Structure 1
Amino acid sequence: MLKMQTGTSTNANAALAGKEAAEAVKADLKDMKMAFVYSGVQYDQKTMLHAIKETLPGVPLIGNTSFTGVMTQEGFVSSDDGFVGIMAVSDPDMTVGVAGMAKQGSARETGHKVAEAALKNAGKTEAPAFFYMSAPSGEEEYYLKGITEVIGRVPFFGGSAADNAIAGEWLLYTDENVYADGISVAFFYTDKAFANVFTGAYRETTNVGVITKIVGDRTLAEINGIPALEQYRAWTGASAEDVKGGNLLAYAIQKPLGVKDPLGDLIAVRHPMNGNDDGSMNIGNNLAVGTAVIQLEGSVDEIIAAVGKTLKELEAKIGAPIAGLHLVHCGGRRAGIGDRINEVYDQVKAAVGDIPFLMEYTFGEYGYEDDGRNTCGGLMLSFTAFGK
């Protein structure tokens, strides 16, 4: 039987925080195959991880820094001095291969190398049942392409490392390495049930256009042949000040953009991050010319309610008793929710009761829908259930 346990700490001492959180999950150490770890940027991550490793010897660790806090079945956990949350996965019949490395060559080349390392660490040559990925914001799609070169299209979940101020202080890590620019993966080999729901849960508006010009991968220059900011303002009624510079990031939380997959099963949310003087906007994920882009919308009330709704969808999708939940929640949505974060906790508890869960807050989310391709987005929820 698969078991999942969580532990947290807000101790200002990084070593003590790691030890306290790890002590809470060590009961099933004999069958523990890995542990997710999410923490505050306030800590010296190497010190924290060393303490966890001493408490959970031989257990592979994987995770990253999280925006402002984590959440477990005990509540929202945050502190100005730091925080850490752990979710341990124990199952005598499961094999997990964890690997991570700083960027070596291109993101795609690094993704290829880390996938080979994860296979080796699992003692396997075949693709896993599913896998987890953590990366920094910026090149997630290319890391994913490199992994896919090795194992093919395998269901995945995860999110991008975050900090508390979008200052580039984020870090990702395994039990062996800590780095700002790189990739971490966990390959899971199991016959237990697994399901992921990946959604922004926004409403579509009738405002739709075609991307006619981009710069690089993530700068949206024109929609319908006119400057992107001009088109966005016409759609949303935003003022020039609303979309100026970094103001756009906060404004767009309730009015983001989205692109559909070829069958319309999934809307990958594209978060406008910065309004530029030339009328273009920086977007949180990759774009393609000739793609239809939809203006989406959702109030703060709807963004909060989406958590409970998505968990109910996940419960129906897995169709089996749930051992635990790994919940990736966008940090931008978290910022928009603000001091109403305890309402998110209420949503989770009402939906899943006493099932163990760990929620992190990320600057990019990863998931898929049915037989569609693995996708990276922003302002999204990637909720994953592990069956018993």
Structure 2
Amino acid sequence: MLKVKTGQSTKANAAEAGREAASYVKDEIKDMRMAFVYSGVQYDQKELIRSISMELPGVPLIGNTSFTGVITPEGFTSGDDGFVGIMSLSDSDMTVGVAGMEKEGTARETGHKVAEKALLAAGKEEAPDYFYMSAPPGEEEYYLKGITEVIGRVPFFGGSAADNTITGEWLVYAENIVTADGVAVAFFYSDKPFANKFTGAYNETTNAGVITKIDGDRTLVEIDGVTALDKYREWTGASAEDVAGGNLLGYAVCKPLAVKDRLGDLAAIRHPMNGNEDGSIAIGNNLAVGTAVIQMEASVDELIASVGKTLEELKAKIGGPIGGLHLVHCGGRRAGIDARIDEVTEQIKKSVGDIPFIVEFTFGEYGYEDDGNNTCGGLMLSFTAFGK
């Protein structure tokens, strides 16, 4: 049977914080297969991981830095001097292969290599039942392409590393690898049920157009032949100041854009990050010319309520007893929710009761819906359930 435990700490010293967080889970070490670790950028991450490893010898660790805090059953955990949350998975019948590496060559080439390393770590030649990925913001789709080259289309979940100030201090880690430019994966082999609910949980408006020009992968230049910022302001009623530079990042939390998958099962949110002087928009994920982009919307009340709603959908999707929950919640949504973050904790506890869980706050979310492809998005929820 799968056993999941969580721990947390806000001690200022990284080593002490790691020891305290690990102390909550170490009694299950006999069958512990891996542990997720999410922490604040204030810490020396290598020292933090080293201290947890000393408490959990032989247990593969994987994770990344999280935006402003984590949530466990103990509540929202944050601190000016740092924070850490841990969730361990123990199951004698489960095999997990964890691997991480700094970028070597292109992101796609690195994804290919890390997948081979994870297979080796698991002692397997066949594809896993599902996998987890963590990467920095920027090239997530390409890391995923490289992994898929090795194992094919396998259900996945995870999120992009974050920091507290959106200044690129984020880090990804797996065992002894701590890097700002690389990727980490965990390949899971288990006969227990698994389910992922991936959603923006926004309301679709009637505002839609075709992307007619982009610059690179993530700069939206024109919609329907009109400068992107002009079209966005027309749709949303935003002022010039609302969308100027970094102001757009916060404004768009309640009014983002989205692209649908080929069957319409998933509206993958595309977060407008920056309003550029030339009228283009920096977007948080990849775009393609000739595809439709839709304006979405939600109030802060709806962002909070969506957590409980998504959990209910996840519970229905797995259709059986749940051993633990790994909840990826966008950091941008968390910023929009701001001081009401405890209401998110209330939503979770009301929905799942005493099921152990951990929430990380990311700058990119990964998941899938129905038979669609694995997808990366922003301002989204990627909620994962591990069956008992």
One-letter identity of the residue aligned with 2:370: D
Structure 1 counterpart of 2:175: 175
**Offset of residue 283 of structure 1:** 0.1
One-letter amino acid of the structure 1 residue matched with residue 168 of structure 2: G
Contiguous gaps of at least 5 residues in structure 2: none
Partner of 1:20: 20
Q: 1:117 corresponds to which residue?
A: 117
2:304·2:343 contact (CA, 8 Å) conserved in 1?
A: yes
Q: Verify: 1:217 aligned to 2:201, yes or no.
A: no
CA distance in 1, matches of 2:239, 2:94: 54
Aligned 1:1-388 pairs, distance under 5 A? 1-388=1-388
Which one-letter code corresponds to 2:294 in the other structure?
I
Residues 290-327 of structure 1 deviation map (CA, whole Å, 9 limit, x = unaligned): 00000000000000000000000000000010000000
What code does the residue aligned with 2:101 have?
Answer: M
Q: In structure 1, what is the Cα distance between the partners aligned to 2:197 and 2:136?
A: 22
- Write the deviation string for residues 4-49 of structure 1: whole angstroms up to 9, x where unpaired: 1000000001000000000100111000000000000000001011
Structure 1, unaligned stretches of length 5 or more?
Answer: none
* TM-aligned CA deviation for residue 174 of structure 1: 1.0
What is the letter of the counterpart of residue 97 of structure 2? Answer: G
**Separation in 1, partners of 2:114, 2:177:** 13
What amino acid maps onto 1:378 in structure 2? G
Q: Secondary structure of the residue that 1:242 maps to in structure 2?
A: coil
TM-score by length of 2: 1.00
4+ runs of 1 displaced by more than 6 Å?
none
Matches of 2:371 and 2:265 in 1, distance apart? Answer: 10
Structure 1 residue 176: Cα displacement: 1.4
Tell me if structure 1 keeps the 8 A contact 2:198–2:367: yes
**What displacement does 1:187 show?**
0.1
Q: Deviations over 1:73-116 (max 9, x none)?
A: 11000000000000000000000000000000000000000000
Distance 1:93 1:59 in 2: 15
Structure 2 distance, partners of 1:60, 1:168, is: 26
- 1: distance between equivalents of 2:193 and 2:147? 23
| Alpha-carbon displacement from aligned partner over 1:331-374 (angstroms, at most 9, x marks no partner) | 00000000000000000000000100000000000000011100
The code of the aligned residue for 1:305 comes to A
TM-score (norm 1): 1.00
What is the distance in 2 between the residues matched to 1:156 and 1:209?
30
Report if the CA contact (8 A) 2:36-2:61 is conserved: yes
Partners of 1:254 and 1:97 in 2: CA distance: 38
Partner AA of 1:297 in structure 2: E
- Structure 2: how far apart are the matches of 1:343 and 1:364? 22
User: Are 2:193 and 2:387, in contact at CA under 8 Å, matched by a contact in 1?
Assistant: yes
Amino acid across the alignment from 1:115: A
Q: How many residues are matched?
A: 388
Q: Quote the sequence identity (%).
A: 77
User: How far is the alpha carbon of 1:175 from its aligned partner?
Assistant: 1.3
